Structure 1
């Protein structure tokens, strides 16, 4: 059973998947920072709002003005966070669309370019020359 697991774990697809997950996690952090630190402040400045503190208190006793304080006081519906996550998703989806579109364009270009004939081996070249010489002598 250990040998089977080792074969499975060291199979190329599993390693590729693991690398993809790690890169995806790092990419997610980059997009989170892009949205939270760059895009949302501009959107907030345009409307004078900060989406991260938009919430609705589900308990009647919530008097806090920030989301962190409100969560300490009781249950809240943090729709501002949802807006941020939705913007994250749209950005990630758009970037992945551009990546897939770029890869498809590269693949189409590779298919359009004719492949150069493989170089002939030395013995094939030599036999071709001998054949051509024999044809010249018999004519």
Structure 2
């Protein structure tokens, strides 16, 4: 029974030590902190701009489906649709998505594209250098083969001295 607990603990430890779990935990914490920033922007900037055309509290925008919505003794009479709170949540989502995209995703994509281009350029120059060296070596080999067929060793038969014979 203790052996099973040890293996469960080892499995749990391996699960926690994975890189994705740590990354996910960091993302959740950052996301929670970022939610406060977005809520501040909505309350401090978006709501006053909307308030210029109506009320600053988006949650107060509503419509009634059946009859008129009346407040009687603190209760709303009728069927009320709170489309203002949906609008506020949608604006919060759009602001969050825009900030994440323009401040995080887009710059990271540009950085990764530049890095990939640099790496490809480095690989391209390596291949060009390797190919040119290989081509030069092939040409040297071909020249040596051609010289050996024409007159023996390179430089003639006298060991590098020009031959006096025609």
Tell me the residue number matched to 2:113: 108
**Does the Cα contact within 8 Å between 1:55 and 1:80 map onto a contact in 2?**
yes
- What displacement does 1:17 show? 0.5
Cα distance in 2 for residues equivalent to 1:61 and 1:81: 19
Cα distance in 1 for residues equivalent to 2:44 and 2:92: 12
Q: TM-score, normalised by structure 2?
A: 0.56
Residues 1-139 of structure 1 aligned to structure 2 (within 5 Å)? 1-45=8-52, 47-50=53-56, 51-56=58-63, 63-64=70-71, 73-74=75-76, 76-98=80-102, 99-113=104-118
Q: Deviations over 1:73-114 (max 9, x none)?
A: 157422111111111111112122212111111112222335
Q: How many residues align?
A: 110
Higher relative contact order (CA 8 A, sep 6+): 1
CA RMSD of aligned residues (A): 2.9
**Does the Cα contact within 8 Å between 1:52 and 1:80 map onto a contact in 2?**
yes
Q: Deviations over 1:51-84 (max 9, x none)?
A: 22112357879534xxxx99x5157422111111
Structure 1 residue runs of 5 or longer lacking an equivalent are: 116-139
